[in-house]
Amino acid sequence: MKRELNINHLTRVEGHGAVNIVIENEMLKEIKLRFTEGPRFFEFITRERLYSEIPKIVSRICGICYVSHRLASSLAVEDAFGVKVTPEIELLRKLLVVGEYLESHALHLYFLALPDYMGYPSAIAMAKDYPNIVRRGFFIKEVGNRIMKLIGGKTVHGENILPGGFKSVPSVDDLKKVQEDLHRVLPEIKATISLFDSLDYPEFNDPHELQMCVEADDPLSFGDKVTLSDGTVFTKQEYELFVEEKVSDYSTAKCSTIKEKPFLIGPLARVNHYADRLLEGTKKQLFLLKNSFPSSNSLHANLARAIEILEFALRGIEITEVLINASPFKGEVPVAPKKGTGFGVKEAPRGTLYHRYSFDDTGRCVSANIITPTAQLQAVIERDLKSLVERSKEASDEELKKRAEMLIRAYDP
């Protein structure tokens, strides 16, 4: 007996995807996850472009997480030219990232993932019965948007972010408003954690052999090293030696492995890794949870997102206090081009992001490579889907499709 399940269009994900599952004689015969992005050739487009143009070009890879792409590319440019930014610029970048995470995670949690668990086809349908829950999601997202607009220049593709820092910096009054917003949103974030901790997550405890994230003092910091859950630590210069990309014959996104194995990145990997380094306010919330971390349940990535936005909001409050006391400060340091290669690695909302550029002595790009979270997630999602299908053979086609979509959405690919 042969069963073939096709999900031709994955809904409520920020990218575009499809899944094909073939079961024959009660055995899984084939599973293909297709991320159907149109070829965009960003690595080719950046060639011969000036270093100053690159961040604005590559930010178009993603409108939701444009901040991460602009910052990763700026970090790579600065690395190539030996530029060191001031502590104030680095803190302002971190505050910008706080806004990005609040906006992106709130969008995912309330509008993409939550309808599955509440039994609704969409957040719009859910709002009829749970208007206050949906309103909470909008509020958290709006706080993040305001931070991105203030520091980045716009909520989408802001032009204030550049190699060397920022064209302009917020005033003391603006920073105080950000701090007030972050204080106001804390109760809503804690309510979000309670909500997502209370959900009925399907049992899916299938340990990931490898998990990866940037190695730094805290999950908000930028780092020069990357760590694996098996104890391996490698530098940003070694990224392409460890993360191997292969072209898939059924997906337009490349498929990445480490040591020929799928690896987990993103909020679940970060919370698992940084659990002991979180702020005390976040640790107190973790202590109250019915679910625990580290977790091997991939569906707990949703709860991990809620934990992250609390951690980042708390750190944002601390950052604004430092920046208020440091004001006025310069938002930009000089950038002088020279021949060289630079690497930028940072944690984006969906996982570890890598940019690498080589420049000639005039500052024009001669080669580039960008490895996105989507490319790195394909192999591990396929691995989880195989495990899910093996456990759910008794489920109807409709139920199996639903479970598969919930699992993929948890990764927010």
pLDDT value, residue 21: 80
Residues paired with 225 in a beta bridge: 215, 235
Check whether residue 19 and residue 43 sit in a common domain: no
CATH number at residue 205: 1.10.645.10
260-276 in b/e burial notation, b at 16+ Cβ within 10 A?
eebbbbbbbbbbbbbbe
Structure tokens at 245: 């990309």
Q: Is residue 200 predicted with pLDDT exceeding 70?
A: yes
Residues 15, 151 share a domain? no
Give the pLDDT score at 15: 66
- CA dist 174 and 149 (Å) reads 11
Cβ–Cβ < 8 Å for 159, 56: yes
Are 46 and 366 in contact by the 8 Å Cβ rule? The answer is no
- Model pLDDT, residue 356: 97
pLDDT surpasses 80 at 184: yes
Provide the pLDDT for residue 214: 97
185 neighbors 140 (Cβ within 8 angstroms)? yes
Total number of domains constituting the chain: 2
At residue 314, the pLDDT reads 98
Residues 6+ apart with CB under 8 A from 372: 61, 62, 253, 353
Look at the block and give the residue holding tokens 């950038």.
335
Question: And the tokens for 380?
Answer: 């591990």
Q: Are strands 165-166 and 212-215 parallel, antiparallel or unpaired?
A: unpaired
Q: How far apart are CA 407 and CA 381, in angstroms?
A: 8
Contact 295, 242 (CB under 8 A): no
Distance separating alpha carbons of residues 258 and 234, to the nearest angstrom = 12
Other beta carbons within 10 Å of 304: 22
Q: What is the mean pLDDT of residues 72-87?
A: 98
The reply, when asked if residue 62 is annotated as ligand binding, is: yes
Q: Is 61 in the same domain as 12?
A: no
Which residue has better confidence, 14 or 184? 184
Q: Label residue 124 exposed, middle or buried (CB < 10 Å: 0-12, 13-18, 19+).
A: exposed
Find the range with the poorest average confidence among 46-55, 136-145, 213-222, 267-276.
213-222
Residues linked to residue 234 through DSSP beta bridges, in sequence order: 226
State residue 60's pLDDT score.
83
- Name residues whose C-beta falls within 8 Å of residue 299's C-beta, 6 or more positions apart in sequence: 201, 202, 204, 406, 407, 410
- What are the b/e assignments for 54-91, b being 16+ CB within 10 Å? bbbbbbebbebbbbbbbbbbbbbbbbbbebebeebbeb
Q: Reply yes or no on whether the pLDDT at 271 is more than 90.
A: yes
Report, as an integer, the average pLDDT of 99-105. Answer: 97
- pLDDT, average across residues 50-69: 89
28 lies in the same domain as 109: no
Residues 19, 94 within the same domain: no
User: Is 314 in the same domain as 204?
Assistant: yes
Mean local confidence (pLDDT), 145-163:
93
* DSSP one-letter code for 364: B
* Contact by Cβ (8 Å): 243, 228: no
**Region of residue 351 (phi > 0: left; psi between -120 and 50: alpha; otherwise: beta):** left
The overall average pLDDT reported for the chain is 92
Same domain, 16 and 149: no
User: Does position 1 have pLDDT exceeding 80, yes or no?
Assistant: no
Query: Model confidence at 217, in pLDDT bands (50, 70, 90)?
Result: confident
Structural domain for 21, as ranges: 4-35
- pTM, 2 dp: 0.93
Place of tokens 């060289």: 340
- The answer to whether 309 is a known ligand-binding residue is no
**CB distance 256 to 311 below 8 Å:** no
Alpha carbons 237 and 127: distance in angstroms, whole number: 47
Encoded amino acid at 47, one letter = R
Q: Same domain, yes or no, for 30 and 133?
A: no
pLDDT at res. 14: 65
Distance separating alpha carbons of residues 208 and 301, to the nearest angstrom: 13
Q: Do 134 and 267 sit in the same domain of this protein?
A: yes
243 with 313, same domain: the answer is yes
Same domain, 26 and 171: no
307 is in an annotated binding site: no
Which range among 14-23, 226-235, 394-403 shows the weakest confidence by mean pLDDT? 14-23
Residue 4: predicted pLDDT: 81
Domain shared by 396 and 346, yes or no: yes
Residues 222, 90 contacting (CB under 8 angstroms): yes
What is the band of 402 on the pLDDT scale with cuts at 50, 70, 90?
A: confident
